[in-house]
Amino acid sequence: MPVGRVRKRVPAAFGPAKFSSVNLADYAHNSRVKIITDERCTGYESRAHPERPARIAKSLEKLRAQKELPVSWAEPLPVEDEIILRAHSQAHLARLAQPEDFDGDTPAYPNIAEHARRSVGGALAALEAARKGESAFSLMRPPGHHATRDQAMGFCYLNSIAIAVLQALDGGAPKVAVYDFDVHHGNGTEAILLHQPRASFFSVHQHPCYPGTGSRNVGNNCFNYPVAPHTGRKEYRSVLAHALEDLKASKPDLIALSAGFDAYARDPLAQETLEAEDYYWIGQTIGKLAIPVFAVLEGGYSNDLPVLILAFLKGLDGR
């Protein structure tokens, strides 16, 4: 995997262990979106399961071939158990090493613990890039936002974004907000970040839908925006905008995106109506906030995933 040169300058006020309010608008515009990936994340699949590595392989291919958006590439960072254990129990980590299915949606693939750890490493690398003022996207499998402290569920084994958020808080980020636009409720992220006073969680998702949670706000830091199946595009987008306004009002120093592309009109797993330009709009709206941001891929099961990811990244980069 070629590792691209980083062209963005790092502001002098930026310290290695602390976050500061990095204004992305200050950066030269010929900078790139950094994509973090490891092709081994496409190395497991099951015929009976809707997760298809070909969608990721094709997304990588499209991103490598396109000329419109300069991107740089990086690999996941190695991850210590100590970091994972901020979000998960020791028993869950031990269970992950056992070759037994968790449930019908979450099979025990060979080496799934390694794949899941690499996926966490992708989120951590994306976080590190965001610390340096780059827009970063971890394009890895498995996804993570359903995994709770003690449980793998819904294609998810470890919760990459929650681990990265806890790492950011530990590294000195004053306030971190998660914006989860995957069409399924990020129940695991909510469960892990609930009552974390410096973290907040904003999730827009179809309800009723998997896993059936997310119909109301929880605690004083988890905000849910359920959308009925078959909601029109315009209305869905207004809910996304409302959630983003609430996120903005929380004045975060860092935004973590659970980027799912399964509210797409032709996604086989949900019944929503978004189009590629809506993902462009999400990226653009968040990019304009001028707050450091990193994203991790959560979902998206249509063959159009490569187009949706590129649209989102172009929006984020302001192109």
What positions carry a catalytic annotation?
146
Q: Of these, 115, 184, 185, 314, which contacts Zn ion (CB under 5 A)?
A: 184
Q: Which residue number has the CB closest to Zn ion?
A: 299
Nearer of residues 260 and 292 to Zn ion, judged by Cβ: 260
Alpha carbon 50 to chain centroid distance?
19
The reply on whether position 299 binds Zn ion by CB under 5 A is yes
Nearer of residues 262 and 278 to Zn ion, judged by Cβ: 262
Tokens 């901020």 -> residue: 86
The reply on whether position 186 binds Zn ion by CB under 5 A is no
Calculate Rg over the CA atoms of the chain: 18
Q: How near is the Cβ of 262 to Zn ion at its closest, in Å?
A: 4
Q: Of these, 38, 182, 267, 304, which contacts Zn ion (CB under 5 A)?
A: 182
Q: CA–CA separation, 208 vs 226, rounded Å?
A: 8
Q: CA–CA separation, 107 vs 130, rounded Å?
A: 32
Nearer of residues 217 and 302 to Zn ion, judged by Cβ: 302
Q: Is 74 helix (H, G, I), strand (E, B) or coil?
A: strand
Q: Which stretch binds Zn ion (CB under 5 A): 42-50, 183-191, 222-230, 248-256?
A: 183-191
Q: How near is the Cβ of 7 to Zn ion at its closest, in Å?
A: 33
Nearer of residues 92 and 184 to Zn ion, judged by Cβ: 184
Q: Which stretch binds Zn ion (CB under 5 A): 27-35, 68-76, 184-192, 235-243?
A: 184-192
Structure tokens at 122: 């992708």
Nearest to 221 by CA among 251, 185, 197: 197
Q: How near is the Cβ of 305 to Zn ion at its closest, in Å?
A: 12
The mark string for 224-263 relative to Zn ion (x by CB under 5 A, - otherwise) is ------------------------------------x-x-
Q: How near is the Cβ of 230 to Zn ion at its closest, in Å?
A: 17
The reply on whether position 188 binds Zn ion by CB under 5 A is no
The reply on whether position 55 binds Zn ion by CB under 5 A is no
The reply on whether position 154 binds Zn ion by CB under 5 A is no
Q: How near is the Cβ of 207 to Zn ion at its closest, in Å?
A: 13
Structure tokens at 167: 């790492």
Is the dihedral angle over the CA atoms 225, 231, 235, 240 positive or is it negative?
positive
Start-to-end Cα distance in the chain: 25
Q: Is 200 helix (H, G, I), strand (E, B) or coil?
A: strand
Please give the full DSSP string across 103-116, using - where no structure is assigned. Answer: BTTB---TTHHHHH
Nearer of residues 76 and 299 to Zn ion, judged by Cβ: 299
Nearer of residues 122 and 143 to Zn ion, judged by Cβ: 143
Q: CA–CA separation, 24 vs 288, rounded Å?
A: 9
Helices and strands in the chain, H and E counts:
9, 8
Binding to Zn ion (CB under 5 A) within 262-281 occurs at 262
**Do 156 and 188 contact (CB within 8 A), yes or no?**
yes
Give the chain's length: 319
Where does this chain bind Zn ion (CB under 5 A)?
Answer: 182, 184, 260, 262, 299
